[in-house]
Amino acid sequence: MISECQLRKMGYTINLDHEYKLIRYKHTGNIKAEEIDKAWQEFLSMKEFTEGEYNLMSDYRNSQFDIHRSEVHMIISFMKNIEHIIRGKKQSLIVDNPYSTAASEIFSSLVVEETGFNVQVFSTPEAALEWLCT
């Protein structure tokens, strides 16, 4: 597993929250598809996510997506390949700017439809946590 220090150099951190059975993923700055791929490789290396009942809280506040339309389809294809792991799980996307909100809403509707991974968009961590824990 990559250390938290190494992850910060990539613009994100990943922490396990055993109390709420969550993987807390925080990403700041410009977010590229390659970085999302690296983060997902980390999630998939965690038994809490792959074998346990842990959900994912993705905090993208103070960041901007730098992902092209073709890369979104590649991300969806990747998620289809891991459908057996993510189907029925939840992911909250916390965003704080109009572009990220719109992109996240489009992404979440595609993911739910294609894979059964329940992704919803929120503007606050409190609302995201409440939804993830119900």
What is the torsional sign of CA 39, 124, 106, 67?
A: negative
pLDDT per position as a tens digit, 39-57: 999 999 999 999 999 999 9
* Amino acid letter, 62: N
* Amino acid letter, 52: G
Question: Can you tell me the distance from the alpha carbon of 114 to that of 98, in angstroms, rounded to the nearest whole number?
Answer: 24
Q: For the chain (length 134 residues), average pLDDT per consecutive 10? A: 48 94 95 92 96 96 88 90 96 93 89 94 97 95
Spell out the domain ranges in the chain: 4-132
pLDDT per position as a tens digit, 112-130: 999 999 999 999 999 999 9
For residue 1, what pLDDT is reported? 46
For residue 11, what pLDDT is reported? 82
Is 0.75 surpassed by the pTM of this model?
yes
φ and ψ at residue 120, rounded to 5 degrees: -135, 155
Question: Can you tell me the distance from the alpha carbon of 105 to that of 32, in angstroms, rounded to the nearest whole number?
Answer: 18
Architecture of the domain defined by 4-132: 2-Layer Sandwich (3.30)
Radius of gyration of the chain (CA): 14
